[in-house]
Amino acid sequence: MTPFSLNQIFQGQPSIAAGLDIGTRSSKMVVLKKTAGRLELLHWSIEPIDQGDEKASVKSLLKKVLINPFPCRTALFGRGTLLRVVETTRMSASELKKSFAFEADRYFPFPAKDVFMDCAIIDNKRKDNKMTVLIAVAKKELVNERLKLLKEIGLTADHIGLNAIALANALAWAGPSVASSVGHAVIGNQAAAASLAPSVAILDIGEMESNLTIHINSVPRFSRDFYIGGRELTRCITNVKSVPLEVAEKLKAQGGPEILAILESSDSPLFDILTELRLSFDYFTTEHKVQPAKLLITGGASGIPGIVGLMTKHLDLNVEQFNPFAKIKPHRSFDQKDWEGHLGELAVALGLALSHFQ
């Protein structure tokens, strides 16, 4: 699936590909090189966005990765974007595109004339003459703003997608070591282990908001946004410790028993995230008759020391920080400890770069 594809600059598969993730707090870039079927991580960089100056952040990022401004892939997230899984009457892909041109208003709360949209059939083998379709939507104003920003920097994009789709690309690439888990069939009120298609959830904890997407066989089947993110966690620490936001941010990054105790309290935004996760998992299990077997967390807050264990305890679920780089060789010049300390922040950028080769 290629949401909001623009003119394809590359012909065939390129040997070098770049993914650019512009978030709320920082911009990230990953550059991959493909040689003889293997991928190598050539460059990566993370640059803070100070006072909302995305342009300065990306310019600084490009200087760090030392690449020419060739077409890259980037993505949007949050308000004004939407990822939905819907059911419709079975039809061909071309018929589906035409159908959505007239019926789009049924599926999302934006006028069709104001959005770019793409859709993909993810299951057309059902026995009820219906099929399951994945729809990705972004407001035109968001896409145009991103294109304007890139043009001012001197970059072009051959693809603008959604963060959740980029993470799905990364999950699919990571393969069995990350994605394969035994599903759990739901029979009445009893959960029994079964050899089903693996169901894996990804929680992307952003600065201002978080996204949960649940996959079956690495294909998104459920997605929702929580308007709670890393900034709310920092403010929680600020309120409890009576320290400035800058100090609270450093304390959050350090983790430790005291910080985890603050985040674990019923007044913490993390408690609200855990509540939303339980409700989402219950809904998904009811709808799909399979429980997610694993939760992968990504985004800046996923690197808080101890947060994986805390979430595992409260969700009674296998929780891991998402590492989609397992099959990718890092350039020999990288400081491995430094690079591995930022894996959670680079997953979207990696997924965008990977989509060049898929």
CA atoms of 30 and 9, how far apart (whole Å): 19
Q: What is the DSSP letter of 304?
A: S
351 in the same domain as 315: no
Q: What is the CATH number of the domain that holds 194?
A: 3.30.420.40
Confidence of residue 191 (pLDDT cuts 50, 70, 90): very low
| Mean pLDDT of the region 289-317 | 92
292 and 201 Cβ atoms separated by less than 8 Å: yes
* Between 181 and 17, residue with greater pLDDT: 17
List, for residues 154-179, the tens digit of each pLDDT value. 888 888 999 999 999 999 888 655 55
Residue 335: left (phi > 0), alpha (psi -120 to 50), or beta?
beta
pLDDT at 319 over 90: yes
List, for residues 38-60, the tens digit of each pLDDT value. 888 888 999 999 999 999 999 99
The H or E element spanning position 260 is helix 257-264
pLDDT at 182 over 60: no
Terminus-to-terminus CA distance in the chain, angstroms?
A: 10
How large a percentage of the chain has pLDDT more than 90?
49
pLDDT at 354 over 60: yes
55 in the same domain as 115: yes
Q: What is the CATH number of the domain that holds 40?
A: 3.30.420.380
pLDDT of residue 124: 80
| Mean pLDDT of the region 193-202 | 66
276 in the same domain as 187: yes
Q: Is 8 helix (H, G, I), strand (E, B) or coil?
A: coil
φ, ψ for residue 227 (rounded to 5)? -90, 55
Confidence of residue 244 (pLDDT cuts 50, 70, 90): very high
Confidence of residue 322 (pLDDT cuts 50, 70, 90): very high
Give me the chain's average pLDDT, please: 84
351 in the same domain as 285: no
pLDDT of residue 183: 40
183 in the same domain as 88: no
pLDDT at 148 over 50: yes
Q: Which domain holds residue 270?
A: 177-322
pLDDT of residue 9: 30
196 in the same domain as 339: no
Tell me how many domains the chain contains. 2
30 and 45 Cβ atoms separated by less than 8 Å: no
Confidence of residue 97 (pLDDT cuts 50, 70, 90): confident
Distance of CA 47 to the CA centre of its chain: 19
193 in the same domain as 332: no
Strands of the sheet containing 318-321, edge to edge, are: 219-226, 210-216, 199-205, 294-298, 318-321
190 in the same domain as 153: no
pLDDT at 333 over 50: yes
Question: How does 193-206 read in b/e, with b if 16+ C-beta sit within 10 Å?
Answer: eeebebbbbbbbbb
| Mean pLDDT of the region 312-324 | 92
φ, ψ for residue 235 (rounded to 5)? -65, -35
83 and 220 Cβ atoms separated by less than 8 Å: yes
291 and 199 Cβ atoms separated by less than 8 Å: yes
Task: Please list, in sequence order, all residues whose beta carbon lies within 8 angstroms of the beta carbon of residue 337, skipping any fewer than 6 positions away.
Answer: none
pLDDT at 201 over 90: yes
230 in the same domain as 128: no
Q: Is 24 helix (H, G, I), strand (E, B) or coil?
A: coil
List, for residues 269-292, the tens digit of each pLDDT value. 999 999 999 999 999 999 888 889
344 in the same domain as 317: no
How large a percentage of the chain has pLDDT more than 70?
89
Confidence of residue 193 (pLDDT cuts 50, 70, 90): very low
169 in the same domain as 187: no
- The beta strand positions in the chain, using DSSP E, are 16-22, 26-35, 38-48, 72-76, 81-89, 115-123, 130-139, 157-162, 184-187, 190-193, 199-205, 210-216, 219-226, 290-291, 294-298, 318-321, 329-330
pLDDT at 188 over 50: no
pLDDT at 186 over 80: no
Q: What is the CA radius of gyration of the chain?
A: 20
The tokens for 78 are 């949050």
pLDDT of residue 192: 35
| Mean pLDDT of the region 183-207 | 60
CA atoms of 357 and 30, how far apart (whole Å): 14
Strands 210-216 and 115-123: unpaired
Task: List the one residue out of 214, 195, 192 whose CA is nearest residue 203.
Answer: 214
pLDDT of residue 270: 93
140 in the same domain as 187: no
- Whole-structure pTM value: 0.86
φ, ψ for residue 222 (rounded to 5)? -160, 135
CA atoms of 58 and 128, how far apart (whole Å): 49
CA atoms of 269 and 53, how far apart (whole Å): 27
